[in-house]
């Protein structure tokens, strides 16, 4: 039997829980962005320097290729090729025929991530790679149950990922520019993923889990595994409040595996103030997104690609899909539920999107939804945050002022692991730094006489 919540959440934790991310309050930024041409479209060189986030970033999809090869060799994991070129040709492609082909690569990456050293190293390198392109805040997600086995406990899995990320953070923040407050520090959070669906082949833990629930319906087994993950996570946090596990996610096959099956797990997380994000509207329609928000309390949605598409509504009880989508958009916009946009990944897994320009992100922008650019999988999608933003800026004609708002959403809608006051101060610092980088860039370009722009509409907000 569970103890009451009061006893389970130690007061010292209370201020660092991430539910604070959605607290209302005045916008922290209304500075004058000193630029000669607020309408200019930034290129990759400038984008690289700007402070950025990645809130949707799978650890097991974002290994360095060289590290995957090295770990596989050491751990005697079979790969279809032993060269980087070979793997890029056979597994981690520019484009994929289908989602199953996209997912194929994870078989190899999870196979090498079965011990402390591998988890710590890949987490460390992932943070370094982000830092190298000016990303200041990341939320790294992975499914612990794909890594746990007899010789690798849940505790060790979580601690080793944290060790890697922490080491990279401390190294970065020891630089004089950060210590002296001239640049915002690097911060991170960890998100644990529950899976909508799994088979015995997914991992040792899942094999045992399925065996142990032989007489339960598969749907019930998936739900129980999620609940176990949620309980494991909160129990871990009671012992290790210093580890910034800031949220829970639901990933995996969407169609046929509804979010509501995982209600109990998300309710458990919700009552303990963990952030909630759900992969939804990627392979399925608007109702799936609505369900994630209303039944799993999602603060953010992974992808949300088909949010604005009435033709993707399949529930026969919804008689007017157009009106349903309009209401849903209003509902989401009002609550600032944030869409984690992974453009390259979507193009790779959704053959029905013919080009980047045709991606529904355009409609999300037009509807003033809260969105943030993410990579999903740096290796599997062969991308970086800078690349994602550069592509979007070009395809959708996003000017620097609008980009400022979009990049700031990432910081604001993060499940930042600290008190809300600290988060606000961080966002403030990020906004000032953004302005400074743009101004310096403008000066470098031989910018014209500057005009202080004080319009309320450009305050990196909402």
Shortest distance, position 440 Cβ to Zn ion, whole Å? 34
Shortest distance, position 376 Cβ to Zn ion, whole Å? 5
Name which of 183 and 376 has its Cβ closer to Zn ion: 376
Return the structure tokens found at 410: 């990432």
Name which of 376 and 442 has its Cβ closer to Zn ion: 376
Name which of 115 and 376 has its Cβ closer to Zn ion: 376
Name which of 111 and 301 has its Cβ closer to Zn ion: 301
Size of site (CB under 5 A) for Zn ion: 1
What does the per-residue mask of binding to Zn ion show for 126-145, with x meaning CB under 5 A? Answer: --------------------
Q: What is the SS3 assignment for 136?
A: strand
Shortest distance, position 279 Cβ to Zn ion, whole Å? 5
User: Which residue in the block uniquely carries the two structure tokens 């389970």?
Assistant: 8
CB-count exposure of residue 31 (10 Å: 0-12, 13-18, 19+): middle
Name which of 55 and 210 has its Cβ closer to Zn ion: 55
Return the structure tokens found at 133: 């392109």
Shortest distance, position 22 Cβ to Zn ion, whole Å? 21
Tell me which of 120, 139, 183, 282 is the catalytic residue: 282
Q: Within positions 348 to 367, which residues make up the interface with Zn ion, using CB under 5 A?
A: none
Q: How far apart are CA 57 and CA 388, in angstroms?
A: 13
Binding region for Zn ion (CB under 5 A) out of 42-50, 359-367, 368-376, 432-440: 368-376
Shortest distance, position 377 Cβ to Zn ion, whole Å? 7
CB-count exposure of residue 280 (10 Å: 0-12, 13-18, 19+): buried
Binding region for Zn ion (CB under 5 A) out of 63-71, 173-181, 209-217, 369-377: 369-377
Q: Over 39-72, what HEC string results?
A: CCCCCHHHHHHCCEEEEEEEHHHCCCHHHHHHHH
Q: Within positions 372 to 431, which residues make up the interface with Zn ion, using CB under 5 A?
A: 376
Q: How far apart are CA 118 and CA 418, in angstroms?
A: 28
Name which of 287 and 376 has its Cβ closer to Zn ion: 376
8-state DSSP, 273: T
Shortest distance, position 409 Cβ to Zn ion, whole Å? 18
Binding region for Zn ion (CB under 5 A) out of 34-42, 181-189, 371-379, 395-403: 371-379
Shortest distance, position 56 Cβ to Zn ion, whole Å? 6
Number of H helices, E strands in the chain: 19, 8
Q: Within positions 303 to 322, which residues make up the interface with Zn ion, using CB under 5 A?
A: none
Q: Which residue is nearest to Zn ion (CB)?
A: 376
Strands (E), 41-163: 52-58, 135-142
Q: Measured in whole angstroms, how far is the alpha carbon of residue 144 from the centre of its chain?
A: 16
Taken in order 408, 409, 414, 416, the sign of the CA dihedral is: positive
Name which of 120 and 376 has its Cβ closer to Zn ion: 376
Tell me if residue 282 is catalytic: yes
DSSP 371-431: EEE--B-TTTTT--HHHHHHHHHHHHT--HHHHHHHHHHHHHTS--SS-HHHHHHHHHHHH
Interacting residue ranges for Zn ion, rule: CB under 5 A: 376
Catalytic residue set: 282
């Amino acid at each position: 039997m569970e103890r009451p919540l009061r006893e389970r959440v130690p007061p010292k934790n209370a201020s660092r829980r991430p539910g604070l991310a959605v607290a209302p309050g005045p916008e922290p930024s209304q500075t004058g962005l000193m630029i000669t041409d607020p309408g200019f479209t930034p290129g990759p060189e400038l984008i690289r320097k700007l402070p950025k986030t990645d809130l949707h970033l799978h650890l097991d999809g974002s290994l360095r290729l060289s590290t995957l090869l090295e770990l596989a060799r050491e751990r005697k994991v079979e790969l279809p090729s032993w060269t980087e070129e070979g793997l890029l040709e056979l597994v981690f492609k520019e484009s994929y025929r289908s989602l199953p082909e996209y997912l194929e690569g994870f078989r190899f990456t999870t196979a090498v991530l079965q011990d402390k050293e591998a988890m710590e190293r890949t987490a460390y390198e992932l943070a370094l790679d982000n830092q190298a392109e000016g990303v200041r805040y990341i939320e790294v997600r992975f499914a612990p149950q794909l890594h746990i086995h007899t010789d690798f406990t849940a505790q060790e899995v979580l601690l080793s990922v944290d060790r890697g990320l922490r080491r990279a953070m401390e190294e970065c923040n020891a630089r004089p520019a950060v210590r002296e407050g001239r640049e915002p520090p690097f911060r991170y959070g960890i998100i644990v993923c529950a899976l909508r669906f799994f088979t015995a082949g997914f991992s040792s833990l899942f094999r045992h889990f399925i065996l142990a629930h032989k007489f339960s319906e598969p749907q019930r087994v998936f739900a129980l595994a999620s609940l176990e993950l949620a309980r494991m996570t909160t129990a871990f946090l009671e012992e290790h409040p210093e580890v910034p596990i800031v949220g829970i996610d639901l990933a995996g096959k969407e169609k046929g595996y509804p979010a509501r099956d995982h209600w109990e797990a998300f309710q458990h997380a919700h009552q303990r103030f963990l952030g909630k994000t759900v992969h939804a509207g990627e392979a399925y329609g608007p109702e799936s997104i609505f369900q994630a928000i209303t039944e799993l309390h999602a603060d953010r949605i992974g992808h949300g690609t088909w949010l604005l598409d009435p033709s993707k509504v399949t529930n026969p009880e919804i008689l007017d899909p157009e009106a349903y989508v309009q209401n849903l958009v209003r509902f989401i916009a009002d609550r600032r539920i944030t869409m984690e946009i992974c453009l390259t990944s979507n193009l790779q897994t959704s053959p029905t999107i013919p080009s980047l320009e045709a991606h529904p992100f355009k409609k999300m922008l037009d509807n003033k939804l809260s969105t943030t650019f993410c990579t999903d999988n740096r290796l599997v999608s062969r991308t970086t945050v800078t690349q994602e933003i550069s592509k979007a800026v070009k395809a959708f004609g996003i000017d620097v002022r609008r980009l400022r708002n979009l990049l700031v959403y990432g910081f604001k809608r993060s499940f930042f692991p600290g008190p809300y006051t600290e988060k606000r101060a961080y966002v403030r610092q990020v906004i000032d730094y953004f302005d400074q980088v743009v101004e310096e860039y403008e000066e470098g370009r031989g910018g014209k006489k500057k005009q202080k722009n004080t319009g309320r509409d450009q305050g990196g907000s909402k």
